[in-house]
Each structure stands twice: as structure tokens, then as C-alpha cells.
Chain A
Amino acid sequence: MPKLTLEELAKIREKTKRLTTVRAGGEYRAKICVHMGTCGIAAGARTIMNVLMKELEERAVSDVLLTNSGCAGLCSREPMATVELAGQAPVKYVDLNEKKIKEIFEKHVLGGHIVTQYALGIGSEKTDL
């Protein structure tokens, strides 16, 4: 292996930092939750998750938390995802595909504008938490 220079060291640092951003902790500006119950996965939630993971990596976004949950109860409208910007009500998106989730990521998560034509509604059902 060739010996490193300071510049090459910096390159390794930046690359590995990008791969380990989820460990950095701190506050998240936004949370994206992909619903991955059996229905969601069957309808293609895995693709949605992969697209989002790729977007986060490629754009080196470190302040967005990507997570998942089980079936949201509206199995006919899967794949679904919930986007929640800090301090705002969560927005549920339905009938997603690769193109739609990319648009939502770009406009809502990064841009802050809700993509109303894909949204089911704003807000969330109550839980006992």
C-alpha cells in the first residue's frame, strides 16, 4: 500500500466520516420513517429505504434521522413514509415509488416544502406514549 500524504489522510477521513455519520449523535433536523411492515415490504418499502439511504450518503446529509416502523394500518396505500421536520407536525406520504420519494426528499426534507400531492395528511394518530 502506498504511504499516505496529509491530503490522502484527509480523504480517508472525509470518506469514513461520511460512512459513520449515524454515530455522530446530536440533534436531528428531520426524521424520515419508512413503514416496513409485511405489507410495506411487499409493496416496495425496501426500495424506498434504499433510495433514501443512497440520497443521504451521496449528499452527505448528517442531520436527518432515517428510521423505520411497522405497518401503519393503511396497507392498501403502501409503501408509506412519514417525514417530520423538527418542531413541525409529521406528514404521511402514501403510494410511494422511487421517483416520488426522491422528490419528497428534495422538496420536503431538504427544502422544507410539503409535497401535498403525495401526502395523505398532516399529523399523527395518538398513542399512549
Chain B
Amino acid sequence: MTEAAKEKAYRVHLMVCAGTGCVSNHSFEVKDALEKEIKKFGLENEVLVVTTGCNGFCERGPLLVVQPGNIFYQQLTVKDIPHLVEEHLLKGRPVKKLMYTPPKEKTPIPVLSDIDFFKKQVLIALRNRGLIDPEKIDEYIARDGYVAMGKALTEMAPEKIISEISISGLRGRGGAGFPTGLKWQMVRNAVSSNGGEKYLICNGDEGDPGAFMDRSILEADPHSVIEGMVIGAKAVGASQGFVYVRNEYPLAIKRMTIALEQARAYGLLGQDILGTGFDFDIKIVRGAGAFVCGEETALIASVEGRLGEPRQRPPYPAQSGLWGRPTCINNVETWANVPVIIARGAKWYASIGTPTSKGTKVFSLVGKINNTGLVEVPMGITLREIIYDIGGGIPGGKAFKAVQTGGPSGGCIPKEQLDLPIDYESLTKAGSMMGSGGMVVMDEDTCMVDVARYFLSFTQDESCGKCTPCREGTKAMLDILTRITEGKGTEEDLVLLEDMAHAVKDSALCGLGKTAPNPVLTTLRYFRNEYEVHIRQKKCPAHVCRQLNVYTINEEICLNKGKGCDVCRRNCASEAIQGAKNEAHRIDQSKCIKCGVCFNVCNFGAVKVD
């Protein structure tokens, strides 16, 4: 079908989620099946299939929302489609069995806005999610896109734009929380030495394990970032912008590329934007996926084509950034907030949130949680509301243990602090940080020492090696943690670990090193007893640290229930299990390599781990 033919009204729009999560769950196949069935029933002039960006409820993908009516279908397969099209679209009967039923409940919830996962969310950065096709600029325009840009370019002086952003209270969404208006003012005030040009950068180098906020925004609504950047460019006086995206985000790069082309074709980028005489254009720079390049000076070095290593600040990029010129660098989510602030006003934005943190924040909710996905919530919401009301709690009836915020360099917050209202200050006070918005939930089966070791191994691996505290310090800390998880830790290790953590935090060159000890420090602060049990009793309470586990067979259960079935002995790679078939089995501890296979294969619960 040609574009022109599509320019008609349809009575039904099928919004198929085509975020990376749903795509990997075959949402494009679902889309093809929908189109095929629609054609089969001759509904192609009545029903339009639209591919949207990430809907947020990734746990339940592939997703489909039927408009009008906001009917939410989930976990679709190609096999479900003929029935769905015939029932809902031809006969007008929504299909209950494909709707979402919350855990522990029996009745499905048909309408998206009635589902708890969506109810408490407030969408600003994600305002267009699920509502537009990100590859069609007209659909963004229909959602009042580029209105704010038009206003900024025709009615507002640069100072006025900056003061609006300052009054709104917007702070950097990349994690550090620097006031955006202040940063813009610094760039505006900075005098560019050679040639006068200033630059704008969008930081999309999202590298935290389990975080996908920036990727989703770039995939679902690239024009919101472009519009924010044009407004920022007018404010600071820049004529060239760069979007730095990691190459592992092919869909984000594709959609941003399309968006840039369409914006340029409409004259919303390039020379003489909207006939106002303002010139600005944006280029995409693909990063190689180094975590350290999320740090602004390392990112700038990478854009310049040099090795992605951070440098000493000051001078800050606002004074001397890309190619030595004043550079305004903000995170994807920060840019996506800008058009809404300009369109709806700073006061409206500042009315949302806490005294020090305004607006909303996008979090990617992952780990041991029922509703994995992307959520946007007002600042000041409690962790409990996010984890239990939106996230639906912990699966399998397990107990909540901790939540890690701020990515690999954030901290672990225990259940005593679940009622903590989230903002930049409260998270820092709790020993963690806002970070870019990763939120990893952990249950009772998680070993906090192992968690600290895991995250430190990530930051250690990603350390660029330029400064000694980060290069050597994180390695020495990782060695200690590994020793503790293997049962070789001593009391002195704990003291040394804590000393080193503080030393690295205080002396590392950039944000990566300064925050890398956070998981260690917070787990020491809130879960010190777990470290002590590992060291003193040589035991891992969660049975995660394998070297500390002792496997035994309850001979009574083995004989009476399992009749000496022999499965464990046959599966034991180290021949540590003795016992003939039909007799009770035993484990020879001197031969056991603690692989846990016997525990996993025993059908009678006879193998115990201690």
C-alpha cells in the first residue's frame, strides 16, 4: 500500500509494539499475521496496523493495543491471530483469553489504563509511547510535536528558554542530576575561542546491565529528542549536534536515522528552520559499546575519534568540550523532557515531584519482579509503590531482599528503606544514586556478597585503566570479594575492603571509578552480617556461592521415597556419590566439586544444601 493510499481514516488502529523486547519475541511476525488475516476478512480498508515503540510492559510481550477502546492484548503468538481478528475485528467481541490477568487473580483486565502497571505512571518523556509510529514524522506532529520548537524559535529569546528550563527544575537524567538550565547557561556564556562554533551532544551511551530507558526513547519517539535538541541549540547558540548511540542498539540507530531524514525533509533541521533563519543539524555517532564512554569527557574523546578515556575536569565540557569548544551534553531522557517543558510551561513541570527533584523519571524495572518493564513515575514516589503497585511484587511468593538503583555503580537498598521517596538526594543519602534509571530487584535467593562481586566485576572489566585507583583498586577489591565468596576471606579482608572502597571513591578520575565501590559500600552497610557469615562460618545463607555449599543426601528420603533411584550417582561428574541402585546414596565430601547437579536432578528432595 502506498503512503498516499494510507492517508484515510480507519475505524480501528492496531498498535503493535515494536520495541526491541517485543521484536525479539516475534512481534513483527505477529504484525504480518495480523495484516494477512485482516486482508482475508476484507477489513483492510477499516483496520490499520501500526508499529509503535516500546509500550513498557515488556514482561508480557508481544503486545497489541486495539484503538479505540484501549484494549490490551499480551503474549500473542502468530497462532492467536486468526481467532483474534475474526472475533474482535470482524464480530466485535474482544478475546478475553488473550488479555492480561494479574498474578493471583482470575479475571482478565481488558483496558490498558485499568491495569496496575500503567495506572500510577505519569508520562512525560514517554508521552508518545504506544501512540505513534516512530518512523512517521506526521504522527509525532499530530501529537503536538514540534510545536514547542516553533514557539522557541519564533517567540522566545535564548535567555527566556534557559530561564524556563531553570525554573522547571529539570536536572540531568543521565544520573548525576546537574541542573540542566545552569548547564545551558554555562554553555551560552562560554566564549568559543576558535571560530565561534558551539556543540550539542545527546548522550545515548546507555551501558548499565538491565537498563533500556534511553534505547526505548530513541526507538519509540526519536523526534522528541530531536525537538529537544533544536530548542537547546537555540538556547546555547549551537549549530551542530551529535547523537551518540551505542552500536548494539541497531533499532534505535535505524529509527533515529529515519527521524533525522524526515525532519530534514520538512525543514525542521538544517538551514533556516521553519523559515526563522536558525540553522542547526544533527549527526549520529555510533559508539563501540564501552561503558566508560557514558562519562561525558570520555564520550567527547570518542566522538573526536580518540580513545574513549575520561580526562580531568575542569575545564568542563560547557567551557571546553568537543574539539575544545563549548559543548552542551545531556542525556536522551533529558532532551525528551525539554519540548514538554517549553510547550506546557516551567511552572506546570515544577509542580510535579519533590522540592529538589522535579518532573518524572524513567526506570527500567528488572530482576526478581513480576512486571518487568519500562516505567515513568513522578519523582517522590516510593520504592514500595514502584516495586509492589506497578511492578506487581516478587514472583513465586519469595521475600523481597534489596533493590539496586543506578546501575552497576549504584547501591543496594534494603527493605527497611522501601518507603523511601525517590529523588536525587534521598537515593544518594541511602548510599545509592539515581543513575540513569536501572532498577534491579532482588529476592531472598540473592547473595548480597555475590551481587557486590558481580557488579564490581562489571565495572572492573569496563574500567579504562587510565587512573590507578580505578584500575588497581577495583581489581584488588574484586580479589577480596572473590576470596570471601570462596570461603577464604578473613576479618581483615573486610576492613581492607571498606578502606579501599573509600579510597577508590575519593581518588578515582571519573564517575566510573568514583561510583564503582557503591555496591560494595551499600551491601557492607545494609548486609554486613552476610559478609560475616561468609567469613566466619564459611557459609552462604542464600546458597549462591557454590564453593561454600555442602551437599548431603538424606538417606531416609533417598531410600523410602526415591527407592535409591540412582539418578544422582549417574549424573555426578566427579564420581563423588556412592550407593547401589535401590539402596541409600551418600556423597563423599572429599570428591564433591559442589556443582549442584545432584541437587537439581533429585526428584524426591533427598539432596540437601547447607
When the two chains form their complex, are residues A3 and B272 in contact, meaning their CB atoms are under 8 A apart?
A: yes
Inside 8 A of B154's CB, which chain A residues have their CB?
Answer: 6
When the two chains form their complex, are residues A56 and B90 in contact, meaning their CB atoms are under 8 A apart?
A: no
Given known pairs A22-B68, A23-B131, A49-B46, the reply for A68 and B13 (CB within 8 Å) is: no
B249 interface contact, C-beta 8 A = no
| A66, B15: Cα distance in complex, Å | 17
Q: Shortest CB–CB separation between residue B214 and chain A, in angstroms? A: 25
Q: Out of B67, B138, B141, B272, which one reaches A23, CB within 8 Å? A: B67
| A16, B133: Cα distance in complex, Å | 12
Max chain A CB contacts within 10 Å: which of B9, B45, B131, B154? B9
Q: Out of A1, A5, A67, which one reaches B265, CB within 8 Å? A: A1
A89 interface contact, C-beta 8 A = no
When the two chains form their complex, are residues B266 and A3 in contact, meaning their CB atoms are under 8 A apart?
A: yes
When the two chains form their complex, are residues B150 and A9 in contact, meaning their CB atoms are under 8 A apart?
A: yes
Given known pairs A1-B265, A5-B274, A13-B142, the reply for A68 and B150 (CB within 8 Å) is: no
When the two chains form their complex, are residues B274 and A50 in contact, meaning their CB atoms are under 8 A apart?
A: no
| A19, B48: Cα distance in complex, Å | 11
Inside 8 A of A33's CB, which chain B residues have their CB?
Answer: 92
| A16, B131: Cα distance in complex, Å | 13
| A16, B89: Cα distance in complex, Å | 23
When the two chains form their complex, are residues A22 and B13 in contact, meaning their CB atoms are under 8 A apart?
A: yes
B257 interface contact, C-beta 8 A = no
Q: For chain B, what secondary structure do more than half of its interface residues adopt (helix, strand, loop), or is it mixed?
A: loop
When the two chains form their complex, are residues A19 and B46 in contact, meaning their CB atoms are under 8 A apart?
A: no
Max chain A CB contacts within 10 Å: which of B7, B142, B268, B272? B142
Max chain A CB contacts within 10 Å: which of B15, B68, B265, B268? B68
| A110, B12: Cα distance in complex, Å | 21
Binary A-proximity of B1-29 (CB < 8 A = 1, otherwise 0): 00000011111110100000000000000
When the two chains form their complex, are residues B275 and A5 in contact, meaning their CB atoms are under 8 A apart?
A: yes
Q: Shortest CB–CB separation between residue A37 and chain B, in angstroms? A: 7
Given known pairs A3-B266, A6-B274, the reply for A70 and B92 (CB within 8 Å) is: yes
Q: Shortest CB–CB separation between residue A71 and chain B, in angstroms? A: 8
| A2, B274: Cα distance in complex, Å | 11
When the two chains form their complex, are residues A12 and B68 in contact, meaning their CB atoms are under 8 A apart?
A: no
When the two chains form their complex, are residues B139 and A22 in contact, meaning their CB atoms are under 8 A apart?
A: no
| A30, B602: Cα distance in complex, Å | 62
A106 interface contact, C-beta 8 A = no
Q: Which of A4-58 contact B (CB under 8 A)?
A: 4-6, 9, 12-13, 15-23, 25, 28, 33, 36-37, 46, 49-50, 52-54, 56-57
Please name the residue on chain B nearest to A62 by beta carbon: B68
Inside 8 A of B267's CB, which chain A residues have their CB?
Answer: 2-4
Q: Which of B249-284 contact A (CB under 8 A)?
A: 265-268, 272, 274-275
Size bracket, chain A contacts = 35 or more
B578 interface contact, C-beta 8 A = no
When the two chains form their complex, are residues A3 and B275 in contact, meaning their CB atoms are under 8 A apart?
A: yes
A69 interface contact, C-beta 8 A = yes
When the two chains form their complex, are residues A18 and B141 in contact, meaning their CB atoms are under 8 A apart?
A: no
When the two chains form their complex, are residues A50 and B45 in contact, meaning their CB atoms are under 8 A apart?
A: yes
When the two chains form their complex, are residues B266 and A68 in contact, meaning their CB atoms are under 8 A apart?
A: no
| A36, B88: Cα distance in complex, Å | 12
Inside 8 A of A16's CB, which chain B residues have their CB?
Answer: 138-139, 141-142
Please name the residue on chain B nearest to A57 by beta carbon: B9
When the two chains form their complex, are residues A20 and B91 in contact, meaning their CB atoms are under 8 A apart?
A: no
A115 interface contact, C-beta 8 A = no
A65 interface contact, C-beta 8 A = yes
Please name the residue on chain A nearest to B145 by beta carbon: A13
B70 interface contact, C-beta 8 A = yes
Q: Shortest CB–CB separation between residue B420 and chain A, in angstroms? A: 33
Please name the residue on chain A nearest to B42 by beta carbon: A46
B314 interface contact, C-beta 8 A = no
Given known pairs A1-B265, A5-B274, A23-B13, the reply for A57 and B91 (CB within 8 Å) is: no
Q: Out of A4, A19, A36, A49, which one reaches B91, CB within 8 Å? A: A36
B397 interface contact, C-beta 8 A = no
Please name the residue on chain B nearest to A71 by beta carbon: B91
| A19, B265: Cα distance in complex, Å | 22
Binary B-proximity of A76-90 (CB < 8 A = 1, otherwise 0): 000000000000000
Q: Shortest CB–CB separation between residue A84 and chain B, in angstroms? A: 13
Given known pairs A3-B272, A16-B139, the reply for A56 and B69 (CB within 8 Å) is: no
Question: What would be 13 A-B contacts, judged by CB atoms less than 8 Å apart?
Answer: A5-B274, A6-B275, A9-B150, A16-B138, A19-B8, A22-B13, A22-B67, A23-B15, A50-B45, A65-B69, A68-B91, A69-B92, A69-B93
Measured CB to CB, the residues of A under 8 A from B are: 1-6, 9, 12-13, 15-23, 25, 28, 33, 36-37, 46, 49-50, 52-54, 56-57, 65-70
Measured CB to CB, the residues of B under 8 A from A are: 7-13, 15, 42, 45-46, 67-70, 89-93, 113, 131, 138-139, 141-142, 144-147, 150, 154, 265-268, 272, 274-275
Nearest first, the 7 closest Cβ-Cβ pairs linking A and B are: A3-B267, A16-B142, A69-B92, A70-B91, A57-B9, A68-B92, A16-B138
- With contacts A22-B11, A36-B91 known, what are 4 further pairs, Cβ within 8 A? A12-B141, A19-B9, A19-B142, A23-B15
